[in-house]
Structure formats: structure tokens, C-alpha cells
Amino acid sequence: MAKALLLENIHPDAAASLRAHGFEVETRKGALSEDELIEALEGVDLLGVRSKTTVTARVLDARPTLTAIGCFCIGTNQVDLEHAAKRGIAVFNAPYSNTRSVVELVICDIICLMRRIPAHTHHMKHGLWDKSASGSHEVRGKTLGIVGYGNIGSQLSVLAEAMGMRVVFYDIEEKLAMGNAHRCDTLDELLEQSDAVTLHVDGRKSNTGFFGEDQFAHMKQGAIFINLSRGFVADLGALKQHLDSGHLSGAAVDVFPVEPKKAGDPFETALADEDNMILTPHIGGSTLEAQENIGHFVAQRFEDYWSKGSTMLSVNMPVLTLPDLAQGATRIAHLHANLPGVLAGVNRVLGEENINVTAQALGTRGELGYVVMDVDKAPSPTALEALRRIEGTIRMRVIG
């Protein structure tokens, strides 16, 4: 029986789905350190994590029998994807399942900051009745600048425009504008005209420190800043300086360069004493609806990969979408270096045993090749060993 380990309070529907498909499932509430993870992965085939558990090359080398990793979130930067691919470990994520949840929180942050709700709440809690319209604005007619126009940024664009906001966006890739949104040619062009700036960039290493002093300095006087993307993309020290100087009127931060491993751990930030500030503990995608959707989605990717060899939506493997295995058939999934002659070698081994290939699919991704074959009879142990010995073989699985 295959075993799955799910960490970090992944929605229980994921475990229920995996158990219904014949997996043994262990769940744990918090994240694990590198050493703890290596120990916990003994005998484990499938690993599920969220954003706090880091799966390093050392972890992958220590547990080479691990078959797949599921990131029950959008980001995958917590996993060494390249090393996982070299080890033949497929990695999956949920790129769309919590988009709406993140967008709704951004809309909430914009309205609250424009109306100075955090500042008014702080004053009320300390006995100060400050009934004033000073510094409070409607969002209608204001300009929203979206940095990163992917799934979240584009959906945010639609909802913000429905509220009467003018939307501009900047992305390093060509993106189709939604509604009346306007694409800016440079980031500075966006910053200089936006009343609110919100970051929605991905977790690639090149985005580290992407938004710093120069970018904050280019923002409009009295603008607000929002980051619900990655903690390492924005310089929070520079943000504090521009809030303290009165250049920026407010900010909302949901992600931080260093975050606690589990709920209840202590957390400190220099932004805590800012007046018009919203601080949230990385909950952009943390709604019950989103976590349930993510649980179902990634669990399905696990099930399809284990039972069919399907790598649909894998972030580090050649992508093949495969049908269910026919009754009585055997499927061979062969992951290899993308070298000339590998497929010929596979077919030669099968031909020597008079095994007929009834269906075959091949995909490549960079330096990897992945061939999946349905055959009319199970190969002998000798043939399986010959397949494993083919030059460039990374991992081979027999399904069915």
C-alpha cells in the first residue's frame, strides 16, 4: 500500500480522497525542519506540503524512493524543483484554486486602507473618538496599479474595475488586458500614476528584493502599498521609511521574508506600530473554500500520477495526460534523460520478449524525456532490469 504524508494542516478532504483511493495517509499539523522531514519520510511515497516546509536537495537525496510532492498552494519555491526532477520526483501545485480568495482580500485591503479603517480602529480601541473624513477616500475613480498580471492580477483587474477603479498593470510578459485595463511599458510608469499598488509576482529567485527603495520612491504621494505575493520581493525597511515620512498613507502586508513555522509561534515586525497598516499572517489564500478546492485538486494529481502515470500540470516533469489503464493491461512509465536512442532501447527490450506495445505517449521537457507505454503482458524481471539499465534512465515504474 502506497503511503502519503500530509503536513501543515492540509484540508482533510485531501486525506479522505487519498484513503478512498487506497493510500495509507499520515497527517501532521505543522511544518518540519530538514532533519525532521528526512526522518518522517521513511517509507513515504507521496509528500504534501504548503508554504512553510522546505524540501531541499538534501531531503530528496536522503529519500530517493519518494515518488511525488504536492504543494497544496500556488507557489513551489519551497521545493528544489530541478533536483526533484533529476531524482524523478514529480511536483504538483494548485495554481488556480485560491485565486478568488486572494483577490477578495486585496479588494478588502484597498477599501480599508483608503477609508483608514486600521487607523480609526486603533484610535477607538484606545478611547479616542476621531470622527473625521480627513484622509478617507472612495475607491471609485482611483487608479489601481497591478504588478504581475497573471491569474490573480487579471481577476483582481476585473473586480476592481467593477468597483469603478481605473486599472493599470505591468508584467514582464505579454498579457491580454481584461476590460479597460491599460498596460504600462515600465514599472515606473505604473508607480507614478497609481493610488494603490499591489504586487502579484511569482516566486522565482530573480524577484528577490524586486520592490525596494527606488520603487517606493516612485510611488505617488499618499498612495497605498499591498503585498500578498511573496515575502522576499519587497523591502519592508524601505516601506516603513516611506510610511513614517508620510509619503505613503498606508500599507497591507500578508507575506514576510521570515515567517513562523506553525500557528501560535511568536512573530515580530517593525511595521506593527504603523498607523494605517494591515498585517495578516499569510492568509491570502486561506479560506475554507480555497483550502477545500486545493485539497481536492492536488490529491487528484497524486492519484492520477500514481495510478495512471499522468503528469498533467506537473511543474517539473514532461506533461502527459493519460487515460485510465485498460483492464488487464500493464503500463510502463519510463523517465529518462533526453538523449538520443533511449526510446529505441526501450522498444528493443520489449521486442526481445515479444511484448506488444498497444499504446505509447512521449513527452519532453528540457533535459527530461518521459515515455509511457501500455503493453499486452507484464515484462519479466529480466526485462524490467534491462529497462532500468538503459543509459539515461532516471526512474521506471510499472503500473497495473
Expressed as residue numbers, the domain containing 385 is 322-400
Q: Does the annotation mark 230 as catalytic?
A: yes
Whether residue 164 sits in one domain with residue 103:
yes
In whole angstroms, give the CA distance from residue 170 to residue 184.
Answer: 5
Whether residue 110 sits in one domain with residue 84:
no
Q: What is the pTM of this model?
A: 0.83
Whether residue 67 sits in one domain with residue 12:
yes
From first to last of the 400 residues of the chain, give the pLDDT tens digit.
Answer: 899 999 999 999 999 999 999 999 999 998 999 999 999 999 999 999 998 899 999 999 999 999 999 999 988 989 999 999 999 999 999 988 899 999 999 999 999 999 999 999 999 999 999 999 999 999 999 999 999 999 999 999 999 999 999 999 999 999 999 999 999 999 999 999 999 999 999 888 889 999 999 999 999 999 999 999 999 999 999 999 999 999 999 999 999 999 988 788 899 999 999 999 999 999 999 999 999 999 999 999 999 999 999 999 999 999 999 999 988 889 999 999 999 999 999 999 999 999 999 999 999 999 999 999 999 999 999 999 999 999 999 999 999 8
SS3 290: helix
Q: Where are the beta strands (DSSP E) in the chain?
A: 3-6, 24-27, 46-49, 68-71, 90-92, 143-147, 166-170, 182-183, 196-199, 224-227, 250-253, 277-279, 330-337, 357-365, 368-375, 393-399
Whether residue 81 sits in one domain with residue 106:
no
Measure Cα distances from 177 to 1, 53, 154, 173, 375 in Å: 48, 35, 8, 12, 47
Residue 268 burial by Cβ neighbours in a 10 Å radius (0-12, 13-18, 19+): exposed
φ and ψ of 318, to 5 deg: -55, 140
Whether residue 308 sits in one domain with residue 295:
yes
Whether residue 105 sits in one domain with residue 208:
yes
Judge contact between 338 and 368, C-beta under 8 A.
Answer: yes
The cell numbers describing 294, all together, are 486545493
Which CATH number characterizes residue 57's domain?
3.40.50.720
Whether residue 248 sits in one domain with residue 213:
yes
Judge contact between 255 and 229, C-beta under 8 A.
Answer: yes
Among 259, 292, 353, 367, which one carries the catalytic annotation? 259
Whether residue 360 sits in one domain with residue 234:
no
Which pLDDT score, from 0 to 100, does residue 362 have?
96
Whether residue 253 sits in one domain with residue 116:
yes
In whole angstroms, give the CA distance from residue 166 to residue 110.
Answer: 13
The cell numbers describing 138, all together, are 472612495
Which pLDDT score, from 0 to 100, does residue 203 have?
83
In whole angstroms, give the CA distance from residue 86 to residue 319.
Answer: 16
Listing from the earlier edge strand, what are the strands of the sheet with 3-6? 24-27, 3-6, 46-49, 68-71, 90-92
Among 63, 116, 200, 230, which one carries the catalytic annotation? 230
The cell numbers describing 346, all together, are 526501450
User: Residue 334: which residues within 8 A CB-CB, separation 6 or more?
Assistant: 342, 346, 370, 371, 372, 373, 387, 390, 393, 396
Whether residue 191 sits in one domain with residue 151:
yes
The amino acid sitting at 253 is V
Query: Which DSSP symbol is given to 79?
Result: B
Last residue of a domain, one of 254, 279, 304: 279
In whole angstroms, give the CA distance from residue 129 to residue 99.
Answer: 38
Residue 93 burial by Cβ neighbours in a 10 Å radius (0-12, 13-18, 19+): buried
Which pLDDT score, from 0 to 100, does residue 19 have?
98
Among 50, 63, 100, 282, which one carries the catalytic annotation? 282
SS3 231: coil
Q: Does the annotation mark 282 as catalytic?
A: yes
In whole angstroms, give the CA distance from residue 54 to residue 32.
Answer: 8
Whether residue 268 sits in one domain with residue 193:
yes
**Total of domains in the chain:** 3
Whether residue 245 sits in one domain with residue 145:
yes
Which CATH number characterizes residue 373's domain?
3.30.70.260
Q: Does the annotation mark 138 as catalytic?
A: no
